[in-house]
Amino acid sequence: MQTLDATFSALADPTRRAILMHLAKKDLTVMELTKPFQMSQPAISKHLKILEEAGLITTTRRAQERPRRLQTAPLKEAVDWMEKYRQIWEKRYQALDGLLEELQNIQPKGVRKK
């Protein structure tokens, strides 16, 4: 659960979610991430630190550069957790859709089979 806490906390910030979106396409360095966000390098670094602590990204090596890479495992865990909850209700409501349709076919005016 501590992992989930850290994940959600890291994801609570729109900039950090956007950073993850960019990293989903390819590994990027701090400098490369600075451009699309029009933010200072320290500001981006701060966000990256939080993401790294939550295990959502790791630092890799490419010659002199230190590009960041998206780690999907904690994300999946968080999404799965929420999805499970939502899906139970989704399943129930789909069953209810069917029942409502049936009830409406019986009830409206006129002749219906018994």
Q: Residue 52 and residue 74: Cα distance in Å, rounded? A: 11
**96 forms part of the interface with other proteins (CB under 8 A):** yes
- Give how many residues touch other proteins by CB under 8 A: 42
Only one of the segments 30-38, 40-48, 60-68, 90-98 lies at the binding site for other proteins (rule: CB under 8 A); that segment is 90-98
Per DSSP, the chain holds a count of helices (H) and strands (E) of: 5, 2
**58 forms part of the interface with other proteins (CB under 8 A):** no
Nearest distance in Å: CB 39, other proteins: 17
Q: Are 92 and 85 in contact (CB under 8 A)?
A: no
Angle at 66 between CA 64 and CA 68, to 5 degrees: 160
**48 forms part of the interface with other proteins (CB under 8 A):** no
Angle at 96 between CA 76 and CA 91, to 5 degrees: 15
Mask 22-41, x = binds other proteins (CB under 8 A)? --xx----------------
Nearest distance in Å: CB 109, other proteins: 14
Q: Directed axis angle between helix 30-37 and helix 41-53, to 10°? A: 110
Among 51, 52, 91, 114, the residue binding other proteins under the rule CB under 8 A is 91
